[in-house]
Structure 1
Amino acid sequence: MTGGLEMPFLNDLQLSWEEAWRLLIDGSQNRKSPLHTPTVATIRDNHTPSQRIMVLREADRDSRTLRFNTDYRASKVADIGHSDSVSILCYHPEAKVQLRLSGSGQIDQGSPACDAAWDEATLYGKRCYLAYPAPGSSVDTPTSGLDPEVEGRKPEGFEVAPARDNFAILLADIEQIEWLYLAHTGHRRALFSWDGGEKCWSSQWLVP
């Protein structure tokens, strides 16, 4: 995509909202998309923010939901248990679009949706959840946390089966999207907010 006034969404709020979701959906399906690995922020119990890069696994415009896979023992799980607020930052340099999303997060470990996410994960992906001790634990020497028996090779299905106990999904219920489109002819910025009572999105232009 190229910048310039010719972009159809440049002066149209509805088209800008649709383009935001198009990029998110493509990011969840396309490993080469910059939106495939956004920054996800949570709030620690001491009220400080915590950020990390995560892989966007699914984006659903109708339900306003983004899905990420996570280790159930990870600190972000405890963060969401303390405060369910989540913030997600994406930037697509080719599309010249920055998205700042915010909403509430929930951790799901035992539902059919989580089972389906586990089933679609690769053996290498599942292997990550075998790490011991838990992610973020203090150790005396550098380590991947993996047993040497499975480190450095593709594991068998039976070897990663125990990792299911550590696997969970983070579902982000998006309530606000701030859109920024960068153009040498003049940037565009807009805010899209979900109205839970009316069950619809409201939108307004902002000064970039």
Structure 2
Amino acid sequence: MALPDTLDAVFSDALDRLEEGARNRRSAMHLPVVATADADARVMVLRHVDREHVEMRFHTDARAPKTAAIASDPRIGLLCYDADARVQLRLRGTGRIETEGAEVEAAWEESSNFARRCYLAPHPPSSAHAAPLPNLPDDVRESEPDEARLNHEARAHFAILKVRLEEIDWFSLAHDGHRRALWRRDGKSTWLAP
């Protein structure tokens, strides 16, 4: 596959890879590392890419520590790497947590009951405990909870993380010479020395 040779083609390639990551759980871009401004990093499932607005969407528990971190400082860094294609994407943007609205409701509705049951967790994510625990109610650890319970109890903890990308640092590793480019929302995109 030929490498992109214009900045527009690099930007398109990056978004194509991210969109594939949101659609395909086997894609290398499906599980990016997401870091908040407090340098806390975690792997998250990429759920959606809004190409027009250059935004990404993830699902999260509204009680998670990243919610307060993002409210305090919305800067977000993301890292994706496709080892087969030898393409790395380093992304920077601003995040916001949303718990209400049409997009949140649509994200909830498109989630499976198995995925929704995670939000029945009785303890907030990252809370300390004396022993290991699955953080699921005993009655749903091996079964699917009913819709009414999910919509009442679990929905209260469900949120989305929206990341508005400001920069995409695209880096392609190649034996005949690496290539690197930086897309910037402010229009100051450029090629970079690898």
Q: Which structure 1 residue ranges, 4+ long, deviate > 3 Å from structure 2?
A: none
Q: CA RMSD, aligned part only? A: 1.1
Q: Give the share of equivalent positions with the same residue, in percent.
A: 41
1: CA distance, partners of 2:191 / 2:3: 16
**Which residue pairs with 1:100 in the alignment?**
90
Please give the TM-score of this superposition, normalised by the length of structure 2: 0.96
Q: Per-residue CA shift, 1:66-87, capped at 9, x if unaligned? A: 0000000001101101100000
Equivalence for 1:204: 190
**Counterpart in 1 of 2:182?**
191
Aligned to 2:148: 158
TM-superposed deviation, 1:133: 1.2
AA of the residue aligned to 2:183: F
Unaligned regions of 5+ residues in structure 2, if any? none
The answer to whether 1:30 aligns with 2:24 is yes
Is the partner of 1:68 in helix, strand or coil? strand
* Structure-2 separation of matches of 1:107 and 1:176: 20
Write out per-residue CA displacement over residues 73-122 of structure 1, whole angstroms, 9 at most, x where no aligned residue: 00110110110000010001122110000010001001111011001111
Using the size of structure 1 for normalisation, the TM-score is 0.90
SS in structure 2 opposite 1:35?
A: coil
1:177 shift after superposition: 0.6
Encode CA deviations 1:46-80: one digit per residue, 9 max, x unaligned.
xxx10000000001121110000000000110110
Across the two proteins, how many residue pairs are aligned to each other? 193
| Match of residue 15 from structure 2 | 21
Which residue number in structure 1 is paired with residue 70 of structure 2?
80
Unaligned runs of 5+ in 1: 2-6, 196-200
Pairing partner for 1:179 from 170, 181, 190: 170
Distance 2:145 2:29 in 1: 29
